[in-house]
Every structure is written in structure tokens, then in C-alpha cells.
């Protein structure tokens, strides 16, 4: 720990989130890096508690608990057990999805876990969605509810809702051309086979290019908590702006080669 950087507490994180505009009753999808804060008293649990404090008992805190890899596809379908398949999205999502009362969607590559009174509705049927992040996904449902995206110490490259925009705009590079019969094992241990289109990992993105526009349009607010840069984004406003942009230029979010 750097002695020149004070420890970050649960209360400091909660007050910083409120200052940024997150409030009681809000729903928020959180992408995060625990290490970005510096030293956090209480670690990942303190960050989760601070998020729950900020939205209150009527709010919902969701995290992406992604499991997909570039190897998933028709020849190598993913097998996802909601009870035990680990995610690769970091300490905070891993800790939240293991909490009593947390629920996780059943999508085999792009699951979301959450705590709050509306989480069951937000995650319901994700495994039946034809694509990972489209209109039947928690990512879109949260936007429809007027929810927020929160980037805690990470940039736009972690913002899964940008894939929602790509799916709504039907960009040509985003999904695999053939569907996959994925295996999903639910909370009761029942095994289901779900046919769906999975992400195609082959196109490098330049997601950070949207930062300036989101600030200029008032869609995003930026602050600092501890050492972490924090971005709070209105999810539906993001989609309302970005989907038409992608329909005009379907390579807008791609790296230039």
C-alpha cells in the first residue's frame, strides 16, 4: 500500500457514487477493477456494500459474469452451470455472484448476476435470447428501465452494453454466422440445450473513441474515487445515440487497420 494514498472505505465509495449521480432506487450494471481504487478497506465486499448503499433497498446492482471464450462455437459448444461456472470479469463480480440472495442469468457466455428486487425480471429468459446482448438480455432490459452503466476503474473496452448497440444495429462482424447448441445447467441441476448465435471474437474494437461524445452529449459523468476513474452512463441514452451512428457506419466501433 502506498502511504501517500489513503485507504478507500465503503462510505467513501458510496458517497462518491452519490456525488456522481447514482441514487436510491436506481438499477446499475457495474464493470469494475478492484485494484484501480488502490487499497480498499474490506476489499470486494466493501465495494459491493457501497454499491448497495448507494441504490438502497429499492435499487438493483448487477455485474457481468462472463464465461465466453473465442473457442466457443458450433464445433465446440459451451457448457454453463449457473451454480459453479466461474466468470473471468474480476474479483467484484465473482464475489457478488457468490453472495446469498444473488441471482445469475442462465446465458452460457454472457451471464449477468445481481442483487435487488427487480433482478429476477431483468435476468429472466436470458438463455432463450437468440443473441447474447440483444433485446431479451439483461443489458437491454436495464436500459429500458432507465438504468445506468457504471465503469469503476475500467474504460469503455469493458462496457458490454456496446455489444447491445452492435446487435441492435445488426453490424455484420459481431455474431458467428451459424448458431450453436449450447448446454445450460440451471439452479436445480437440470440440463438444457439452447440454440443461439454467439459472439465472433475476430474483430478488434476501439470502444474508447466514444468517451468524448458521451461527455459532450451529457450521457456520461466522470469522477474519481480513491485512485479510480469512475464513469456513470445513462444506458438508454447511450443506445439511442449509438445505434443510429452504427447504422450509418457499421465499422464505427472497430479499430482502423
Do 80 and 108 touch, CB atoms closer than 8 A?
A: yes
250: enclosing H helix or E strand: none
Is 193 part of a structural domain of the chain? no
Is 181 part of a structural domain of the chain? no
Q: Which domain holds residue 35?
A: 10-70+86-166+204-248
To the nearest whole number, what is the mean pLDDT of the chain? Answer: 97
Q: How many CB atoms lie within 10 A of CB 41?
A: 13
Q: Rounded distance, CA 140 to CA 162, Å? A: 10
pLDDT tens, residue by residue, 78-88: 999 999 999 99
pLDDT tens, residue by residue, 176-200: 999 999 999 999 999 999 999 999 9
**Alpha carbon distance, N-terminus to C-terminus of the chain:** 41
Is 171 part of a structural domain of the chain? no
Is 25 part of a structural domain of the chain? yes
Residues 6+ apart with CB under 8 A from 102: 96, 113, 114, 115, 119
Beta bridge partners of residue 194, listed in sequence order:
182
Is 103 part of a structural domain of the chain? yes
Do 7 and 227 touch, CB atoms closer than 8 A?
A: no
User: For position 129, what pLDDT does the model report?
Assistant: 98
**More confident site: 2 or 129:** 129
* Beta-strand relationship, 112-115 and 60-64: antiparallel
Q: Rounded distance, CA 194 to CA 127, Å? A: 7
Q: Helix or strand or coil: residue 92?
A: helix
Do 118 and 27 touch, CB atoms closer than 8 A?
A: yes
In the chain, pLDDT over 90 holds for what percent of residues?
Answer: 97
Is 256 part of a structural domain of the chain? no
Do 12 and 226 touch, CB atoms closer than 8 A?
A: yes
Is 20 part of a structural domain of the chain? yes
User: For position 6, what pLDDT does the model report?
Assistant: 80
- Total domains present in the chain: 1
* Grid cell 444506458 in the structure block, residue: 235
User: For position 4, what pLDDT does the model report?
Assistant: 63
What pTM does this model have?
Answer: 0.96
Amino acid at each position: 500500500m502506498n502511504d501517500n494514498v489513503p485507504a478507500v472505505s465503503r462510505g467513501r465509495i458510496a458517497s462518491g457514487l452519490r456525488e456522481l449521480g447514482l441514487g436510491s432506487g436506481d438499477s446499475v450494471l457495474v464493470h469494475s477493477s478492484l485494484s484501480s481504487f488502490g487499497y480498499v478497506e474490506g476489499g470486494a465486499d466493501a465495494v459491493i456494500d457501497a454499491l448497495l448503499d448507494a441504490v438502497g433497498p429499492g435499487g438493483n446492482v448487477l455485474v457481468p459474469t462472463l464465461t465466453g471464450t473465442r473457442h466457443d462455437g458450433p464445433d465446440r459448444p459451451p457448457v454453463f452451470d449457473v451454480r459453479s461456472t466461474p466468470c473471468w470479469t474480476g474479483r467484484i463480480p465473482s464475489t457478488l455472484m457468490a453472495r446469498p440472495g444473488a441471482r445469475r442469468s442462465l446465458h452460457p457466455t454472457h451471464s449477468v448476476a445481481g442483487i435487488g428486487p427487480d433482478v429476477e425480471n431483468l435476468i429472466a429468459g436470458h438463455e432463450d435470447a437468440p443473441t447474447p446482448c440483444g433485446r431479451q438480455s439483461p443489458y437491454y432490459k436495464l436500459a429500458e428501465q432507465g438504468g445506468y452503466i457504471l465503469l469503476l476503474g475500467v474504460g469503455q473496452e469493458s462496457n458490454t452494453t456496446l455489444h447491445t448497440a452492435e446487435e441492435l444495429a445488426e453490424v455484420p462482424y459481431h455474431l458467428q454466422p451459424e448458431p450453436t447448441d449450447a448446454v445450460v445447467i440451471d439452479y436445480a441441476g437440470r440440463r438444457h440445450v439452447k440454440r443461439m448465435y454467439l459472439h465472433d471474437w475476430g474483430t478488434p474494437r476501439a470502444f474508447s473513441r466514444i468517451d468524448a461524445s458521451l461527455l459532450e452529449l451529457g450521457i456520461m459523468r466522470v469522477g474519481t474515487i480513491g485512485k479510480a476513474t469512475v464513469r456513470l452512463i445513462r444506458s438508454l441514452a447511450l443506445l439511442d445515440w449509438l445505434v443510429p451512428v452504427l447504422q450509418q457506419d457499421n465499422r464505427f466501433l472497430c479499430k482502423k487497420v
